[in-house]
Structure formats: structure tokens, C-alpha cells
Amino acid sequence: MKSVVFLPLKRTSHSEALIKEATKDTRWGPTTAELNQLSRLSNHPRDLGLITKELSRKLRSKSPIQIHKALSIVLYMLQTSSSEFVSWLTMNQYSIRTLREYQIDTRRKHVEDAQLAFNIRNKASEILRLLENRELLRQKRQEFITFREEMKLPTPRSSLDMPSRSSFTGERNCKSLEINRADLFRELDACSSSSDEERERRGSMLSNILELEEEVNHFEPRSTRT
């Protein structure tokens, strides 16, 4: 009689579940909370390996939605995550270069997908622009670090507050961007007594961060928004 061998079940790690949730084939997302967590996780080699492996796969996806989500995450992490992620992206930028000419056959798809293809080309071009201009990339990364420190918000190097796995299958945290914005504006108002130069500098950094977060969170073609 043959003995039955029970193989251990493979458990999905937090980072693997997170990146799959952030790049799934739905119009919504990734959320600000997901982007921030992915950025922090990039400081851990094992998590970084899982994240970049999934990003590589989604950048080659047949779904334009998944491609756009992957590019959104790459653009955000390029400016906010670990230097190891930047090194990985530099070595694998060929996968981004091919997307600068991305096209969708709108005769077989919805016309709105033409806008999504345009967004993919633009985002790929912006990523490459930052990779090719190291001084601009350094400036963007430093602005983000300085802004997070001054606003007393979590930075990519802060301790991780891991949510339960159920958070990836339940209701999504759709208010994360609004909560962050409220904190940012309160801090900015608190600086009203500062010099004009200081207020202008903080206002500029605030505008850059909010623009980055809005860009990666709202990618639907205009015709689909309500």
C-alpha cells in the first residue's frame, strides 16, 4: 500500500498578496495605502524580489489596465522607494522602453481604451525621462523624503504596520488619499507664520506629492468617470 504524502500548502506572503491586489484587472486602484506599503516593503530584499517579479509579469500583460497599473506603481516607487528598486529598474528598463510605442486596436476594443493606451505611453516616457536624468530623479526623491519628514508622515524606512490578509479581500481603503490630504493641509496651515519663501517651498512640495498620488490613483479615461 502506497503511503500518502501531504505537501505543505504554499502560503502567499504579505508583499505578494499586496502587489497582486494592486495590479489586478479592474478599473479602480492602486490605492494610496497600497502604494505606500509597496514603497516601504522595497527595503526588504525578499519582498522587493516578489514585488519586482510581479511587476515584470504585469508589464508584459495582455491587459492594458494591468500594464497601466504596473507603470503607475513603478513611477511612484521610482520616486519614493529604496535605491535597490531604482537599481532593478535601471537594469530592466527595456520593459519600459517597449511601452513608449504601446498601441491598442480600437476596432476590436472600446474606443475609450485609446485614452488608456495614450496614458501608458506617457507614463512609460516619464519613467524613462527620470531614469535618464539622474539629477532630476535625485531631486524628486529628495523632495519626497524631505516632505514626508517635515509632515511627520510614515517614510519608506519606517517600521511596517502589517494589515491582516483579509484586508486584501475585503473592502478597499478608498479614503486613504483624503486622510493624507487632510493631514498635509493641516501641517501646511500650521506654517502660516513662516516666511514667504518657506511657505512657497512647502506649498511646492505639497503640490508635487498630491499630483503624484492623484496621477497613480485616477487613470480611467474621462469618458468613464462619473
Sign of the CA dihedral with 30 first, then 31, 37, and 42 last: positive
Instruction: Cell numbers for 28, please give them.
Output: 479602480
Please give the torsion angle defined by the CA atoms of residues 70, 76, 78 and 84, in that order, rounded to the nearest 10 degrees.
Answer: -80
CATH 3.40.718.10 fits 16-156+174-224, yes or no: no
Q: Is the peptide bond before 30 cis (omega within 30 degrees of 0)?
A: yes
Task: Round to whole Å and give the CA distance between 65 and 119.
Answer: 10
Q: Which tens digit of pLDDT belongs to each residue from 107-119?
A: 655 667 788 899 9
Q: Which tens digit of pLDDT belongs to each residue from 97-140?
A: 999 999 887 665 566 778 889 999 999 999 999 999 999 999 99
Coil vs helix vs strand at 27 = coil
Q: Which tens digit of pLDDT belongs to each residue from 48-72?
A: 999 999 999 999 999 999 999 999 9
Q: Which tens digit of pLDDT belongs to each residue from 1-10?
A: 556 555 455 5
- Examine the pLDDT at 19 and tell me if it is beyond 80: yes
**Average predicted confidence (pLDDT) for the chain:** 76
Cβ partners under 8 Å of residue 160, min gap 6? 37, 40, 41
Q: What is this structure's pTM?
A: 0.67
- Examine the pLDDT at 24 and tell me if it is beyond 70: yes
